[in-house]
Amino acid sequence: MANIRLDVNHMMKDFLGERGIDGAEMNALSASLSNAYKAVEAGRGKGMQGWMDLPYNQDEILEEVEETAKGIRERFDAFVVLGIGGSALGPAAVQQALNHLHYNELPKEKRNAPKLYIEDNIDPERMAALMDVVDVRTTCFNVISKSGGTAETMSQYLIVLEKLKEACPNDYQKRIVVTTSKTKGFLIELARAEGFKTFYIPDGVGGRFSELCPVGLLAAAVCNIDIRALVAGAKKMDERCNSGDMTKNPALYEAGLMYLCMQKGMNISVMMPYADSLKLISDWYAQLWAESLGKNVTLDGKPCHVGSTPVKTLGVTDQHSQLQLYTEGPFDKAITFLKVENFRAVTPIPHGCENVPKIAFLGGKSHNQLIEAERRGTEYALYRSGRMSQTITLDEVNADTVGQLLYFFELVTAYTGALLNIDTFNQPGVEESKVAAYAVMGYESEEHNRKREEMKNRPEEKNAYIFE
Ligand code: PA5
């Protein structure tokens, strides 16, 4: 299986000119990069870095996941993930990458597995819509929550539980699988009391680093994705990045580039896959990058406001939407292309319109050629306007290369966090919004009562600023 390839030429001064990153700047950073590598390695498997063990310590779990997935495939027509943030973005990204682009619409005999729905929001219309398209009697619900207390997921759980109890009073328990912490939160207690099948999220694995544990593995295995190859791809990337020398560790080099971009005020990281299959990798990356690096205090307690804003786009679609801004707007972005060398389909473009040369020239070529020509066109337009870009190439999109890609970005994020000297693995800003939402919903506890009072102390809103 081929390694994924990182090409950063278009980031560098040698190629891009004045606006690029100087090799000398990278050399000056090499000691800090080496220290960042050491810091990340020192934390391997400890604290919130349990995700670094996932490529290595899951033999039994993989077996149990595959076994459970087999049973689910045999018994159910639909598999529904109830989760949000890190409990939903990974499963969605991997399904989009590794299964048919219209998976749910395929006839059952071609799918050979249940339909998959990932319900990561609580738009009131959404649950109603889901209930219109699934029969709860033949649906398996996977409730995923690390904390076991996230309002969105737990409210979905309550809705589903009631419906299941109505429809299958004698064996509703067999239609719920819970994936949560073994030691924390209420969900594990509920699951044990009800006798639901459970999978555990290791304590040292945060939501956004959890795709390669049962959070992501179960849905993938249910849908016949080769989870062993996914994990093996991650392991391959981990071994490839086993060096504190930036020239031998692509994730470390990449972290250095991203760090220098931030230092230069290029605080926007645009992810632009040129493949529909990789579209949701951008969503997954956006959470990983934003939640990990957007922090206001350093590890030694000094105030800081760091991070860079991830932007999710899709080539070529967004050439016709955002590229104008990227080429002529502010110099505040670095664009990452995800390129696929060999697509899983070849779509030839037939000859025709021979009397219209501007169209006829497309005949005899293919969408495979056109999409890469468009990517190169965009890369060139960015180059011409002095904008940074880089390309990560996947020989093909398969479980191995996707495993490599996910783990690559996890390492880049961890190294970048170490360079910024922040806690990459917490999310106090998210917790703040969770507490505030519970307070608004009337939850009674000292913390939430205090929050309600605090929220009242905001300035009065002025009618002058409201336009009706
Ligand atoms: O990355 C994170 O920690 C968060 O985005 C969580 O995944 C998200 O808030 C959902 O939390 P939980 O899995 O505890 O329900």
Mean pLDDT of all residues in 156-173: 97
**Confidence grade of residue 59 (pLDDT, cut at 50, 70, 90):** very high
207 CB under 6 A from ligand 1?
yes
Residue 434 pLDDT exceeds 90: no
pLDDT digits (tens, 9 = 90+) for 318-347: 999 999 999 999 999 999 999 999 999 999
Is residue 39 a contact partner of residue 412, using CB atoms and an 8 Å limit? no
Tell me the three state secondary structure of residue 401: helix
Residue 432 pLDDT exceeds 90: no
Mean pLDDT of all residues in 258-270: 96
Burial class (CB in 10 A: 0-12, 13-18, 19+), 435: middle
320 as an active site residue: the answer is: yes
Burial class (CB in 10 A: 0-12, 13-18, 19+), 428: exposed
Angle at 312 between CA 310 and CA 317, to 5 degrees: 150
Is residue 69 a contact partner of residue 218, using CB atoms and an 8 Å limit? yes
Higher pLDDT, 72 or 429: 72
Residue 124 pLDDT exceeds 80: yes
* Strand ranges, E, within 29-175: 78-82, 115-119, 139-145
CA nearest to 304, candidates 293, 312, 319, 314: 293
Report the pLDDT value the prediction gives residue 185, as an integer from 0 to 100: 87
Is residue 396 a contact partner of residue 13, using CB atoms and an 8 Å limit? no
Amino acid identity at 76:
F
Residue 42 pLDDT exceeds 90: yes
Mean pLDDT of all residues in 8-18: 95
153 CB under 6 A from ligand 1?
yes
Please identify, by atom number, the ligand 1 atom nearest to the C-alpha of residue 153.
Answer: 15
CA distance 45 to 24: 34
Q: Which residues contact 42 (CB under 8 A, 6 or more apart)?
A: none
Is residue 416 a contact partner of residue 38, using CB atoms and an 8 Å limit? no
**Confidence grade of residue 233 (pLDDT, cut at 50, 70, 90):** very high
Residue 77 pLDDT exceeds 80: yes
Tell me the three state secondary structure of residue 233: helix
Is residue 37 a contact partner of residue 48, using CB atoms and an 8 Å limit? no
CA nearest to 87, candidates 169, 175, 205: 205
Determine which helix (DSSP H) or strand (DSSP E) holds 393, and give its type and residue range.
strand 388-394
Global pTM value: 0.96
Mutate to test the pocket of ligand 1, among 425, 430, 432, 438 (most ligand atoms within 8 A of CB): 430
291 as an active site residue: the answer is: yes
In 181-278, which ranges are continuous DSSP H helix? 187-194, 214-222, 227-240, 250-263
Residue 1 pLDDT exceeds 80: no
CA distance 400 to 285: 18
CA distance 176 to 75: 13
pLDDT digits (tens, 9 = 90+) for 375-420: 999 999 999 999 999 999 999 999 999 999 999 999 999 999 999 9
Q: For the beta carbon of residue 377, count every other beta carbon within 10 angstroms.
A: 13
Mean pLDDT of all residues in 228-235: 98
β-strand partners of 392: 6, 338
User: Does residue 316 have a cis bond before it (omega within 30 degrees)?
Assistant: yes
Please identify, by atom number, the ligand 1 atom nearest to the C-alpha of residue 215.
Answer: 13
Catalytic position from the list 320, 358, 456, 462: 320
Report the pLDDT value the prediction gives residue 379, as an integer from 0 to 100: 97
CA nearest to 230, candidates 245, 247, 244, 213: 213
User: Percent of the chain at pLDDT above 90?
Assistant: 96
Report the pLDDT value the prediction gives residue 425, as an integer from 0 to 100: 97
Q: Which residue has the tokens 């060398």?
A: 341
Atom 2 in ligand 1: residue holding the nearest Cα: 207
CA nearest to 214, candidates 66, 408, 402: 66
Residue 181 pLDDT exceeds 80: yes
Count how many residues are written for the chain.
Answer: 468
Report the pLDDT value the prediction gives residue 249, as an integer from 0 to 100: 98
Mean pLDDT of all residues in 431-453: 91
Q: What is the DSSP letter of 21?
A: B
Mean pLDDT of all residues in 160-164: 97
Mean pLDDT of all residues in 104-112: 95
Report the pLDDT value the prediction gives residue 35, as an integer from 0 to 100: 98
**Confidence grade of residue 297 (pLDDT, cut at 50, 70, 90):** very high
Report the pLDDT value the prediction gives residue 430, as an integer from 0 to 100: 87
pLDDT digits (tens, 9 = 90+) for 134-148: 999 999 999 999 999
Least confident range of 59-63, 148-152, 272-276, 372-376: 148-152
β-strand partners of 309: 268
Burial class (CB in 10 A: 0-12, 13-18, 19+), 468: exposed
Report the pLDDT value the prediction gives residue 32, as an integer from 0 to 100: 98
Average pLDDT for the chain: 96
Question: How many whole angstroms from its chain centre is CA 404?
Answer: 13
- Report the relative pairing of strands 295-297 and 303-306 from DSSP bridges: antiparallel
**134 Cα to the center of ligand 1, angstroms:** 26
Report the pLDDT value the prediction gives residue 270, as an integer from 0 to 100: 98
236 as an active site residue: the answer is: no
Residue 368 pLDDT exceeds 80: yes
Please identify, by atom number, the ligand 1 atom nearest to the C-alpha of residue 85.
Answer: 5
Report the pLDDT value the prediction gives residue 413, as an integer from 0 to 100: 98
For the chain, the distance separating the N- and C-terminal CA atoms, rounded to the nearest angstrom, is 60
